[in-house]
Structure 1
């Protein structure tokens, strides 16, 4: 009877071990994006999404070129002047840094006050100044090239991503990062915005189609986006941690029971 008891205990231990191993390897996550539809009482999806235009600040880096004639504004051998950094970006134009006083020093027209202006406003101002002093019908292209957001957590390619256009959305940045991983919680995506006492956190639920019209998903310079783990991924990690010590313990106990059973025969 005692031998039968030990044999049953041995089988039970093997059975538990198989369950633990199987549960840790059977994890599968199905992403559920934009499945929840808007209800008739929810009118947020029909509301227009507000535009958010970035306003130029000191220390910003502007990339400026004249599309009419590349020899103006962009020179083959740019020279920094008045303490401004002027550098060539291959095939894209010359860059100028906005000074602490909010001005940027440009060839032929000198310092131009651009701080507080949107990209469109600054472009028009620079076009008008060059039209009055040097160029006929210039077409100025201006970009703010130092704007970026940081993407962390359960995304396929976390890191820093540049904001290359106005009104860049959360979905667009996630697309650039390759999308969510299988361990991502699409219902809990945090956008951390601001600094110190002005810091705010917005929680976005991408399983809800209404999130596409949520104005909080229009990204701003310096935003930190964190994609949390889903419950299955957390459970899988916990099981893996459990396996790191339960498997050696099971092996040791199984060996002891086998030796004990054989010695009783």
Structure 2
């Protein structure tokens, strides 16, 4: 009977310990509801100072998809009166053309135009100049629609995002994804760049206002962005895992304690 008494005392202590653990976990969970602290001024010396970064402007490559339209004619990239054809593509979006292995894109009237190696703006200007010989005051709009990045981790909407706009920044992308979650670590953001053969990992701290002056946050095609959990979230998950293991045991022992108390 004495040993059973000690067992029951031990059970009571376990129940109290479990309650304390659960309160501790709850206190961490409540702390997540605080807003992320971003873009604070830092007194430390600028880590980016005296570093030379080259801002890479994307240049068109073979197999790229170009969306082209003539803003002077909403129906088609060129004047229907000249081609005698109608477009099957939405007037708002223009038509899509594939850049071939020979670095050219085949366009109505003007034929094959070499665009590989040019920036988006350069290609649009070049095509517009060629169409000026055939059309009245063409205004060519060109988009590269196959450029994309992958956003993973603690953001509201993970997924693959197209880079339609020139010089899209990491901050703009996170905003488009709905922002960071309550568990996100604003100092634990990584950009994986360069592909599988030689990936470069760029660490970004969004709590530092100087992030705006870092040209590396301008996204490039096929970048992978990962937003890790903050340290509090990791600790909380560990505590929750421990409580999940302890809870069935505590429940069983608590039941035994109740039975013992009733049968005394």
Shorter-chain TM-score above 0.5: yes
Answer whether contact 2:18 2:243 (CA < 8 A) is retained.
no
Q: What is the aligned partner in structure 2 of residue 178 from structure 1?
A: 178
Answer whether contact 1:191 1:202 (CA < 8 A) is retained.
yes
Q: What is the aligned partner in structure 2 of residue 222 from structure 1?
A: 222
- Distance in 2, matches of 1:198 and 1:156, equals 29
Matched, 1:125 2:129: no
- Distance in 2, matches of 1:148 and 1:115, equals 18
Answer whether contact 1:51 1:167 (CA < 8 A) is retained.
no
The total of aligned residue pairs comes to: 254
Matched, 1:201 2:201: yes
- Distance in 2, matches of 1:43 and 1:196, equals 28
Q: What is the aligned partner in structure 1 of residue 110 from structure 2?
A: 109
Q: 2:66 aligns with which of 45, 55, 62?
A: 62
TM-score normalized with structure 2 length: 0.86
Answer whether contact 1:63 1:144 (CA < 8 A) is retained.
yes
- Distance in 2, matches of 1:113 and 1:38, equals 50
1:146–1:89 Cα change, 3 Å: farther
RMSD across aligned positions (CA): 2.6
Deviations along 1:56-81, whole A, 9 cap, x unmatched?
Answer: 11111111111112344266744xxx
> Tell me, what secondary structure is at the counterpart of 1:164?
coil
Matched, 1:32 2:37: yes
Answer whether contact 1:38 1:45 (CA < 8 A) is retained.
no
> Tell me, what secondary structure is at the counterpart of 1:146?
coil
Quote how far apart the aligned CAs of 1:100 are.
Answer: 1.3
Answer whether contact 2:194 2:223 (CA < 8 A) is retained.
yes
TM-score normalized with structure 1 length: 0.86
Deviations along 1:146-180, whole A, 9 cap, x unmatched?
Answer: 11111000001000111121111000000000111
How do 1:5-20 residues align onto structure 2 when only pairs under 5 Å count?
8-20=9-21
1:38–1:95 Cα change, 3 Å: farther
Gaps of 5+ in 1: 79-86
Quote how far apart the aligned CAs of 1:9 are.
Answer: 3.6
> Tell me, what secondary structure is at the counterpart of 1:196?
coil
1:96–1:212 Cα change, 3 Å: same
Answer whether contact 1:38 1:209 (CA < 8 A) is retained.
no
Q: What is the aligned partner in structure 2 of residue 84 from structure 1?
A: none
Quote how far apart the aligned CAs of 1:45 are.
Answer: 7.5
Quote how far apart the aligned CAs of 1:19 are.
Answer: 1.5
Q: What is the aligned partner in structure 2 of residue 154 from structure 1?
A: 154
1:89–1:53 Cα change, 3 Å: farther
How do 1:28-107 residues align onto structure 2 when only pairs under 5 Å count?
28-29=31-32, 30=34, 31-39=36-44, 41-42=45-46, 44=48, 51-73=55-77, 77-78=86-87, 88-89=89-90, 91-107=92-108
1:178–1:71 Cα change, 3 Å: closer
